[in-house]
Amino acid sequence: MPWQNKIMRTVRVRNELIPGTLARLLTAVAERNGSIGEIRLIREGTKAIVRDITVYADTEEQMADIIEAIRANPGSRVLEVRDEVLEVHRGGKIAIRSRYKIDSLATLRRVYTPGVAQVSMRIAKDPKLAWQFTSISHLVAVVTDGTAILGLGDIGPVAGMPVMEGKAMLMESLVGLSGVPVLLNTKDVDAIVDAVAAIAPTFSAIQLEDISAPRCFEIEQRLQERLNIPVMHDDQHGTAVVVTAALTNACRYANVDLHKATIGQIGLGAAGMAISRMLMHISGHPVLGADLSEDALQRLESYGGKRATLDEIMAKADIVIATTGVPGLIKPEMVRPGQIIFALSNPKPEIEPDAAIEAGAAFAADGKSVNNVLGFPGILRGAVDTHATRITPEMYLAAVHALVAHTPEGELLPSPLMPEVHRAVARAVAEKALEQGVAQADYVPYVTDDDEEEEEGRVTI
């Protein structure tokens, strides 16, 4: 995506019908190193034309300079400047809607009192019926304490709400699960575990989001021990699944054997640690890990990895993965010819892919190429559909294989907008849950509105 990570504004401009007015405006933007996206005609009159012009810049200061230049353009008048990102979020991005229209007393009595008592009594006698007669079967808690929001750090749970809403949107749009954001105003591990455990009966699964390391490891482990539903920290496992799938494809293109290669992981936070564990599970060999934290290094060693320095990893590893958040950490002169380098920090990688390739890398990618939206929706859907009690390493690995199988030739990963990819991940995870005996129900694949006409007779869970 050419404009990813740039600032965008939509400027509504009224240009007088004087030759050269629009050309001068576009030139003014270009002279300030801005870029033009869509130009949309809004209204055409006998004396002027009103257009919406999408403008991109690298910084807020540059954008302000560009907009002032547009205002100063002879024959142009700026009517409005819109931040489309903010507009999309206005009022929030999600809402709870009723599935039935309450337009009669008869309907009211069925969905509420007195009819609802019949359903409640049945569930009281057999709690498993809640999966059939309530929304628990598709509700997933998206839980954060706001301590590691995107690459922004500890900005608090309320500031994390737009991200949690986005996760919920993706769940619903891609696999039909209903994500419910849960913001916890505490950083205390015991309090978080107790709070999530207390609300867990509402949900079919728990997705932990943007909780800082090393607390996230203990929180996930303790919750999974206490609960009989899947608990998944997406920053760990969702990221590990997608990175491993991408790495599998990259190894094929670069003719590198993933099972025999020496792998180095730079940065052992939530994502780096989970990636290391998954790659050790696959290869059976220790991953070399570098981090400034002694606790992180000891944790890696407890999982079977080996501590190393940045220089040692760059000198010895055939595959280098970096998740440090430090732009430019890997210098071109550190790159060894033939290496595969995944510099995954956003928005700025540890080394730009073009620079890594120029320095001799056989394959290089950054975080913009590896999107974990390919992982968590299908993984959770497969686990929920089988009423799995937990998500095992083998279930995560099944998701990896599904992503690899659906990657078009020559691409690093499939498009996250392809519904069939998420279905494939869900099916692979569900089948592995059944195979391993962690499922509590037979697998009935979910269907979307687009599928219903073609797949009549299947049941939506």
What's the pLDDT band for 2 if we cut at 50, 70, 90?
very low
To which CATH superfamily is domain 237-370 assigned?
NAD(P)-binding Rossmann-like Domain (3.40.50.720)
Q: What is the DSSP string of 1-38?
A: -TTTTSEEEEEEEEEES-TTHHHHHHHHHHHTT-EEEE
Q: Where are the beta strands (DSSP E) in 302-451?
A: 306-307, 319-322, 340-343, 363-366
Position 243, amino acid:
V
* Preceding amide of 445 cis, omega within 30: no
- Are the beta carbons of 57 and 81 closer than 8 angstroms? no
Helix (H) or strand (E) holding 87: helix 84-89
Residue 5's pLDDT is 65
The three-point CA angle 191-195-199 to 5° equals: 175
Whether 446 sits among the annotated catalytic residues: the reply is: no
| 3-class state of residue 179 by DSSP | strand
Q: How far apart are CA 16 and CA 14, in angstroms?
A: 7
What's the whole-number mean pLDDT along residues 363-367? 94
Q: Where are the beta strands (DSSP E) in 31-118?
A: 35-44, 48-57, 76-82
pLDDT at 461 over 70: no
Q: How far apart are CA 345 and CA 322, in angstroms?
A: 7
Q: What is the pLDDT of residues 331-357, one digit of tens each?
A: 999 999 999 999 999 888 999 999 999
Q: What is the pLDDT of residues 209-230, one digit of tens each?
A: 999 999 999 999 999 999 999 9
| Gap between the terminal Cα atoms of the chain | 35
Position 240, amino acid:
A
Whether 303 sits among the annotated catalytic residues: the reply is: no
Q: What is the pLDDT of residues 368-409, one digit of tens each?
A: 888 889 999 999 999 999 999 999 999 999 999 999 999 999
Q: What is the pLDDT of residues 101-135, one digit of tens each?
A: 999 999 999 999 999 999 999 999 999 999 999 99
| 3-class state of residue 183 by DSSP | strand
- Are the beta carbons of 6 and 56 closer than 8 angstroms? yes
For residue 57, report the phi and psi dihedrals to the nearest 5 degrees.
-145, 165
Query: In the chain, what are the domain boundaries?
Result: 7-89, 134-229, 237-370, 373-436
From the options 3.20.20.450, 3.40.50.10380, 3.40.50.720, 3.40.190.10, give the CATH code of 134-229. 3.40.50.10380
What's the whole-number mean pLDDT along residues 287-296? 97
pLDDT at 206 over 90: yes
pLDDT at 449 over 90: no
Q: How many residues does the chain have?
A: 461
**Structure tokens that stand for 222 in this block:** 């303790």
- pTM more than 0.75: yes
pLDDT at 460 over 50: no
Residue 458's pLDDT is 31
What's the pLDDT band for 263 if we cut at 50, 70, 90?
very high
- 7-89 and 237-370 in the same fold: no
pLDDT at 31 over 50: yes
Residue 455's pLDDT is 39
Tell me the percentage of the chain whose pLDDT exceeds 70.
95
- Are the beta carbons of 157 and 191 closer than 8 angstroms? no
Choose the catalytic residue: 6, 56, 100, 112: 112
Residue with tokens 């007195």: 114
Q: What is the pLDDT of residues 155-187, one digit of tens each?
A: 999 999 999 999 999 999 999 999 999 999 999
Residue 451's pLDDT is 53
Average pLDDT, the chain: 93
Q: How far apart are CA 365 and CA 245, in angstroms?
A: 13
What's the whole-number mean pLDDT along residues 147-156? 90
- Are the beta carbons of 250 and 225 closer than 8 angstroms? no
What's the pLDDT band for 327 if we cut at 50, 70, 90?
very high
Rounded to whole angstroms, the maximal C-alpha distance in the chain is: 79
Residue 371's pLDDT is 87
**What is the separation of C-alpha 345 from the centre of its chain, rounded to a whole number of angstroms?**
14
Q: DSSP class of residue 408?
A: P
Residue 347's pLDDT is 80
What's the pLDDT band for 453 if we cut at 50, 70, 90?
very low
From the options 3.40.50.720, 3.20.20.60, 3.30.70.260, 3.40.50.2300, give the CATH code of 7-89. 3.30.70.260
Angstrom CA distances, 365 to 62, 317, 357, 393, stand at 28, 16, 10, 25
What's the pLDDT band for 448 if we cut at 50, 70, 90?
low
Choose the catalytic residue: 6, 167, 396, 432: 167
